[in-house]
Structure 1
Amino acid sequence: MMKVGIIQMNSGADPVQNMDVLQTSLQRLHQQGVKLALTPENALVFGDKQDYQRHAEPLGHGPIQRQLAEMAHQFDIWLVVGAFPIQNDNGRLSSASLVFDNAGHLRGSYDKLHMFDVEVADAHGRYRESDYFQAGDQLATVDTPFGCLGLSICYDVRFAPLYHALRAQGADILTVPAAFTRVTGQAHWEALLRARAIETQCWVIAAGQCGEHSKGRQTWGHSMIIDPWGQVVASLGDDPGVTWAELDLSIGESIRRKMPVLDHARLQTQLK
């Protein structure tokens, strides 16, 4: 048994302001005994292409990542930073989820596989994430004292084979940091998260951006923690905040023993 926490934010383009909010949130979770915390996608920088380029850092280096590592150590917490712009050797940026342990060491990372290139009926209208970032091409799991994390980011949640593959690699807990639009979030957010939990028989922890952002962007919020039976055990609404829940891996083990759906699967879909 352990406590996991989720942080819901209304981030902007200034990492200093966002870091202040994150520090206050982590302090609250630490006071509740939380040992693993998840931030939303773009928690430290949520802006336009120039903002991501300005604040991007090489993986494992740079002042922002050092500060994140220090906070993980300060609050004795495993910190999963939902997504942060990473500068690659080829000059392109990746949208990467970063996992720091409670000693402040970077224990793993994941480059977002699926780019959000869609049209949405909101004030922003057209989203072209591939204009900012290059897509990743690798799955990522991270072993922790609390179980194996399977990493994903936002739009990934619409692609079930990714989560089947993470479970096949031993994931017990699936992380879904996000900046879901209000329109798509209201329609699909909870349904998709619960489906991923049910079909993989894993815990799902999902932290989202919320509220109004620059250039007409509106995000849905409603961060939640879901058990392997698909039940929402903790959730937030429309505003920034934190929540937490006790996570018991034996629940998933029991469900998989009684209903071994992965053993019964007859069709195997491979990632491209």
Structure 2
Amino acid sequence: MRIALAQTTTGIDPAAEATRLAALVAEAAARGADMLFTPEMSGLLDRDRRRAATHITDEAHDPALAAVRAAAAEHGLWVHLGSLALKGEGEKYVNQGYLVRPDGSVAARYAKIHLFDVELGSESWRESAAYAPGVEAVLAQTPWGGLGLSVCYDLRFPALYRALAQAGAAMLSVPAAFTRPTGRAHWHVLLRARAIETGCFVIAAAQTGEHQDGRATWGHSLIVSPWGEVLLDMGEAPGLAVLDVDVAEVEAVRARLPSLAHDRPFKLVRA
């Protein structure tokens, strides 16, 4: 399987981002990729909620999703559109990712379950103030095996990834917009840990650089092997990288270290 990984510095204009995403699909196809992975919030990254509200729409009218679906169909490429800010059923938005087939149809949707509500010294984030959490873990089927979907802060909740792996995931996608403080401290170790714990390929497309809304993101989009080896690290520059992986390695690693089959029930005792 040839994976294309997009690392972007998404801004506040969804129309411009839609054009950029379509160009990334075309580039990935030209480089022989089977599937393109894009970061969290690929269509709009804007922490100014009043300004963002003028751009956020529903799934049927989102320009980034429409552009990616059209480009996927034109170039015959699978695309995991990491996530988009969309109107939900209630008053709050959803942070939702899409797996798009080569004919442009939607194969799967995943709404981010764990929302980023943290204090990081000078940075304060309250994702739950504007977004509603998802409630369903999603395992999508691809020609190369099961793909477990997640978004960014989900990375800190290993039970989600273990459940996806035990349900049949061979690959785990972790699109993200990691902050620089948390990225510097935890990004590599968390992604490697999720790969080791599950025996899955972990594919993490990330936002990078200085954004128009004033935030700064960590970059370092990664592909990690089922043994926990970093196969690709894109550093901090935006762009597109391509890597060939052998998904059969998943079964080989799990045969050597079959921990997914070794869960045992236990009770917690407070001493």
Q: Which moved more, 1:88-97 or 1:216-225?
A: 88-97
Alpha-carbon distance in 1 for matches of 2:150, 2:93: 17
Partner of 1:37: 36
Asked if 1:99 corresponds to 2:99, the answer is: yes
Contact kept in structure 2, 1:56 and 1:84, CA below 8 Å: no
Partner of 1:235: 233
Summarize the Cα distance change of 1:144–1:52 in structure 2 as closer, same or farther, 3 Å threshold. Answer: farther
Q: Which moved more, 1:79-88 or 1:99-108?
A: 79-88
Contact kept in structure 2, 1:201 and 1:255, CA below 8 Å: yes
SS at match of 1:164: helix
Partner of 1:74: 74
Alpha-carbon distance in 2 for matches of 1:190, 1:89: 35
- Gapped regions of structure 2 (runs ≥ 5): none
Counterpart among 168, 171, 176 of residue 170 in structure 1: 168
Q: Deviations over 1:115-154 (max 9, x none)?
A: 10111245xx111111120011110111011211100000
Alpha-carbon distance in 2 for matches of 1:64, 1:110: 16
Q: Which moved more, 1:16-25 or 1:48-57?
A: 48-57
SS at match of 2:248: helix
Partner of 1:145: 143
Deviation at 1:62, TM superposition (A): 4.4
Partner of 2:90: 90
Summarize the Cα distance change of 1:219–1:133 in structure 2 as closer, same or farther, 3 Å threshold. Answer: same
Deviation at 1:59, TM superposition (A): 3.5
Partner of 1:47: 46
- Gapped regions of structure 1 (runs ≥ 5): none
RMSD (Å) for aligned C-alpha atoms: 1.7
Q: Which residues in structure 2 correspond to 1:170-209 (within 5 Å)?
A: 170-209=168-207
Deviation at 1:216, TM superposition (A): 3.4
SS at match of 1:85: strand
What percent of counterpart residues are identical? 37
Partner of 2:23: 24
Deviation at 1:64, TM superposition (A): 3.7
Alpha-carbon distance in 2 for matches of 1:51, 1:268: 50
Deviation at 1:53, TM superposition (A): 3.0
Partner of 1:225: 223
Alpha-carbon distance in 1 for matches of 2:234, 2:104: 27
Q: Which moved more, 1:22-31 or 1:147-156?
A: 22-31
Residues paired across the two proteins, number: 266
Summarize the Cα distance change of 1:181–1:63 in structure 2 as closer, same or farther, 3 Å threshold. Answer: closer
TM-score computed with the length of structure 1 as normaliser: 0.92
Summarize the Cα distance change of 1:268–1:251 in structure 2 as closer, same or farther, 3 Å threshold. Answer: farther
